[in-house]
Amino acid sequence: MFIVNVEGAIRKNDKWLIIVRSHKEEHAGGQLSLVGGKVDLVGNSSDILEKTVKREIVEEVGVNVKDELNYVHSTSFVTDKGEHVVDIVFLCKYESGEAFSKSPDEVEDVLWLTTEEIVSQSNSPIHLKESIKHAESLIRSHSS
């Protein structure tokens, strides 16, 4: 069985909302990441992935995104504890709120970075770089 995780690629003024994961986190502490989290068991629910990513964004960084979410891509990975995870990334449009570390046990810092800045950071994992590149190409295909 997989853990299902969702992440939001939030863009505002040509910059991405990126978090520095807390060193207290069991997986990837201190690394850059998109905002997101695990899908909870809630019984029967429609739009469970979309509801989860919106909730996680508000809980972790205090930002609201618009209802219009676009699928970017999905990946799988194994956590440092050996848990198998399916990760789904959505492109999110910023709506309101000032981003801050609302949940310090999960989020050490909040940054607005350009694609180039994300790619050049030493604590930027390959999966984050790939997610940002996929989201960037989705934006380009929608604007052409």
The pLDDT value given to residue 34: 97
Domains of the chain by residue range: 3-143
Contacts of 77 (CB under 8 A, 6+ apart): 84, 85, 87, 127
Burial of 112 (0-12, 13-18, 19+ CB in 10 A): middle
Separation of alpha carbons 76 and 85, rounded Å: 5
| CATH for 3-143 (1.10.150.120, 3.40.50.150, 3.40.50.300, 3.90.79.10) | 3.90.79.10
pLDDT in tens, 94-134: 999 999 999 888 899 999 999 999 999 999 999 999 999 99
The pLDDT value given to residue 60: 94
Question: How many H-runs (helices) and E-runs (strands) does the chain carry?
Answer: 3, 7
Structure tokens at 25: 């986190």
pLDDT in tens, 36-88: 999 998 888 899 999 999 999 999 999 999 999 999 999 998 988 899 999 99
The pLDDT value given to residue 19: 96
